[in-house]
Structure 1
Amino acid sequence: MPVLQTLGYPAGKAKLIPGYGDTEEKAVRGVMVHGWEAIPDCTYTKYGVNVLPGDGYVLTALILVGE
């Protein structure tokens, strides 16, 4: 959250949910497994997603932001 505030984004709360796997599907599943509690929380009103393929692995990240 400090990074969001430094960038001028008025975030009241934020959650970073990572995922990892040897395929995109497994990396996205990792986000779902780690974020099962936070994803359905309707107080998070904005989100961002990133997929970073590497050499034999894929990293994913989901950030949820609420005001």
Structure 2
Amino acid sequence: MSATNARWPVAIAVMLAVAGWLGVPAAVAEPHPALAQAIKSARAGTACDTLQYSPKAELAAEIVNRSTRDYVNFTAEYVPADDPHPTAIAKDVGIEGTKVMSLQGAAKTEIDAIKGLLLQGHQALSDCGYTDYGVSMLHEPQSGYSLAVVVMVGP
């Protein structure tokens, strides 16, 4: 493992500790409504079963999104966790499946960020191998951008 790759588990652990998310993630009452509905609607147009909400996938989405926000704000210590297959993050938050996909969108409005995410992920959303999902929507006040992330996982 290279020195750069070896830092990721440490960086993720620090992010989790700072956010107060050590251990099992707390259940989130509801995922971001507009983003969750967009994912459900996009998936409904496929032959696949409905994606099931997962608090662990939501935590992974939040980690990916916060790392991007921190990078945009020039406050990140590491490059953003923008790998389209964040399997290390998923494993760190307790997701046991090996199929992981992260979709991202950014725009001046939440609706446009969601549209960008859906455009990026139109093929992945029709992959029936993904069974669970989590979402994150953050607003970055310095730039005025909304940052949207969906993490989908499967067995």
Q: TM-score, normalised by structure 2?
A: 0.42
Where in structure 1 are there 5+ consecutive unaligned residues? none
Of structures 1 and 2, the larger Rg is shown by 2
The aligned residue for residue 6 of structure 1 is 92
Note the 1:1-40 alignment, pairs <5 A: 1-40=87-126
Instruction: Give the CA deviation at 1:2.
Output: 1.2
Amino acid at match of 1:57: Y
Instruction: Report the 3-state secondary structure (helix = DSSP H, G, I; strand = E; otherwise coil) of the residue aligned with 1:49.
Output: strand
The aligned residue for residue 154 of structure 2 is 66
Instruction: Report the 3-state secondary structure (helix = DSSP H, G, I; strand = E; otherwise coil) of the residue aligned with 2:97.
Output: coil
Q: Which structure features the higher share of strand residues?
A: 1
Instruction: Give the CA deviation at 1:29.
Output: 0.3
The aligned residue for residue 66 of structure 2 is none
Q: Distance in 1 between matches of 2:92 and 2:140?
A: 29
After TM superposition, the runs of 4+ consecutive aligned structure 1 residues lying more than 2 A away are none
* Post-superposition CA distance 1:15-57 (Å, at most 9, x none): 0000000000000001101001101111100001110012211
Instruction: Give the CA deviation at 1:5.
Output: 1.4
Where in structure 2 are there 5+ consecutive unaligned residues? 1-86
Instruction: Report the 3-state secondary structure (helix = DSSP H, G, I; strand = E; otherwise coil) of the residue aligned with 2:95.
Output: coil
Q: Which structure features the higher share of helix residues?
A: 2
Q: TM-score, normalised by structure 1?
A: 0.92
Q: What is the number of residues matched between the two proteins? A: 67
Among all aligned residue pairs of Structure 1 and Structure 2, give the percentage whose two residues are the same amino acid: 33
